[in-house]
A and B are shown apart, each in its own frame.
Chain A
Amino acid sequence: QVQLRQSGPGLVKPSQTLSLTCDISGDSVSSNSVAWNWIRQSPSRGLEWLARTYYRSKWSNDYAESLKSRITINPDTSKNQFSLQLNSVIPEDTAVYYCVRGTNSWLDYWGQGTLVTVSS
């Protein structure tokens, strides 16, 4: 059974960096048949896809156009996890962040969610 366990701070100050990690069990971050995503959810923006990383003979990353200048996703094969960094956060980045496995672009396993509040 695939399980995703998220960790990271729930409060980030404006202009600082949001960092979250997702630990994978029951699957491999290096699997060549799935992708590993970050999704966020807020009342104002709804569900929003942020980024994905996947391995198909080599690593590839994709990012939401609106966040491309501020966001980084990284796989860590030694720990079987992947991470999200969002730089220069603003209050509008306040949301519940989810790590999610994607199979053929269907989001079939989700982490428990982390409420991240951007506030001083």
Chain B
Amino acid sequence: DIQMTQSPSSLSASVGDRVTITCRASQSISRYLGWYQQKPGEAPKLLISDASTLQSGVPSRFSGTGSGTDFTLTISSLQPEDFATYYCQQSVDSPRLTFGGGTKVEI
């Protein structure tokens, strides 16, 4: 299975901060990378697919970049509703989807 490694595992930030989360794949996955946001007690929500395609309704302060093995999720100006855990997921090895361990964004 393709291993997905996220860093950091947690971070502290303030409203208005620029936040960057990194995801690394154990082998090249081209741009088959998605990002999810999960709030406590809720299911994950798809934010970005294909490394950089923002899903409908997702604020433009979220952006994704990368290809191959290294990817980044950026929140340009952190808002109170963005405090959550973020996960990356590869789909190149479908159906054997694998996820990163998560990055918790805290106040």
A residues near B (Cβ < 8 Å) are 35, 37, 46-49, 52, 62, 64-65, 98, 100, 104-108, 110-113
Contacts and interface: CB of A to CB of B under 8 A. Distances in A.
A105 B94 contact: yes
Contacts of B64: none
A105 B98 CA distance: 11
Interface centre among A48, A49, A100, A106 (most CB of B within 10 A): A106
Interface core residue of A37, A107, A113 (most chain B CB under 10 Å): A107
20 contacts: A37-B95, A46-B99, A46-B101, A47-B87, A48-B99, A49-B98, A52-B95, A62-B95, A98-B43, A105-B32, A105-B91, A105-B95, A105-B97, A106-B34, A106-B91, A107-B34, A107-B44, A110-B43, A112-B43, A113-B43
Given A98-B43, A107-B44, A49 B95 contact: yes
Nearest to A35: B95
A107 B102 contact: no
Contact of A106 (B49, B98, B99): B49
